[in-house]
Amino acid sequence: MKKIIAIDVGNSETTVGVGNSDNWESYRYTTRKTITSDELLMMFRTTIDLSKADDELLHGAIVCSVVPQITDSVVSAINKFSSKEVLVVGPGVKTGLKVNIDNPKELGPDRIANSVGGYKKINKEVIIVDLGTATTFDVVNHNKEYLGGSIAPGIKISLDALISRTSSLKSVELKEPNKVIGKNTYEAIQSGLVLGHASMIDSMLEKIVLESELSPGVVVTGGLGTLIQPVLNINTSYERNLTLDGLEEIYNLNN
């Protein structure tokens, strides 16, 4: 299989993967809107070096970005070590996905990649839950038609809002609490954030299935997926590199 460099620029983290869906070497970096192309070049070179990949053997690069301020810098950085064209997910790029929403241009490239990757992963109708800055739900039917989705505040946003808008509450470590009923404020916040968020996801999945009349598989991804997926009641699978898998599929469709 072709080896590529796939880059997912999110609001909080940028994931850089080298390889393919059989074997990704991937690393997460903090996204900064003021980052320069030279700094990005060092980030990409570090990832390639850690993966022990040969630049000349990389077939090409693909980028999806929800931070337009740095998209051009990402492409510029790649062009400094590769002469091959960089594919940026956006209008005009083949995805294999029929987007059936009011304004397809509103759909973020990361959610497109997740939907493509999720469908490829289980080869049937699917709901993808991505736990990042926001918690997103994306629904794809058996005809590979994107039906729409839902967006909720992510866990970290909820925690930041709670702490910033109250005088006496302090931040907590995001980890699974031992019990639902906290015996102190710290435990109570952990319970509300982690188990409360998981309950929201369980309930939303039930409502999506009821409304869509689908019998989908559910794939969880995103940086906080490892925290939440184990405490969900609904049967799901966790895919750390789902977005990269989707980007690889899109890359192959266009090359």
Count the residues in the chain: 255
Amino acid at 66: V
Select which of 110, 130, 138, 245 is catalytic: 110
- Residue type for position 22: D
User: What is the rounded CA–CA span in Å between residue 9 and residue 74?
Assistant: 9
CA distance linking residue 117 with residue 122, whole number of Å = 9
Task: Identify how many contiguous H helices and E strands the chain contains and give both numbers.
Answer: 8, 11
Task: Establish whether 55 is a catalytic residue.
Answer: no
CB 177 within 8 A of CB 187: yes
d(CA 140, CA 114): 10
Supply 72's token pair.
Answer: 């051009």
- Cβ atoms of 114 and 221 closer than 8 Å: yes
Residues with catalytic roles: 110
